Amino acid sequence: MGMRHKVAGRGFGRSSGQRRALYKSLMIGVILHDRIRTTEAKAKEIQPMVEKLITQARTDSPHNRGLALSSLGSAAAVERLFTEVAPRFTGRPGGYTRIFKIGVRPGDGAVVCQLEMVE
């Protein structure tokens, strides 16, 4: 194996389809429950995706709802994103989420974090 020159992002040992599904389910979890508990790597990977979705949802339009639905695939999550989540952050210039470390998972030593919406 050579060096990973110009290869961005984390692979998580999954195929691209499985990885996309993982990201979707994590983002849906954050939007529906305001917080999720996951590994540090996964939290850091989806944080910018969630932030961009929230910024997009601050402008409610059929087009933006369609874009959000295409990246989330959950009508319930899109509805909550546009009606409850995004309006809370109208006066905030980004930085809608925070990550803080909880500890180490006993099974595999992975650093476990909580990704949550800022109040």
Identify the DSSP state of 59. Answer: S
CA distances for 15 relative to 43, 47, 72, 103, 116, angstroms: 19, 20, 18, 28, 27
The pTM is what? 0.94
Q: How many CB atoms lie within 10 A of CB 85?
A: 21
Per-residue burial over 51-74, b = 16 or more CB atoms within 10 Å of its CB, e = otherwise: eebbebbbeeeeebbeebeebbeb
Q: How many CA atoms lie within 13 A of 60 on its CB side?
A: 11
- Note the pLDDT tens digit of each residue in 22-66: 999 999 999 999 999 999 999 999 999 999 999 999 999 999 999
CATH class label, 16-117: alpha beta
Q: Where are the domains of the chain?
A: 16-117
**What is the reported pLDDT for 119?**
84
pLDDT at residue 1 is higher than 90: no
Whether 19 and 25 have beta carbons less than 8 Å apart is answered as no
Helix (H) or strand (E) holding 48: helix 40-57
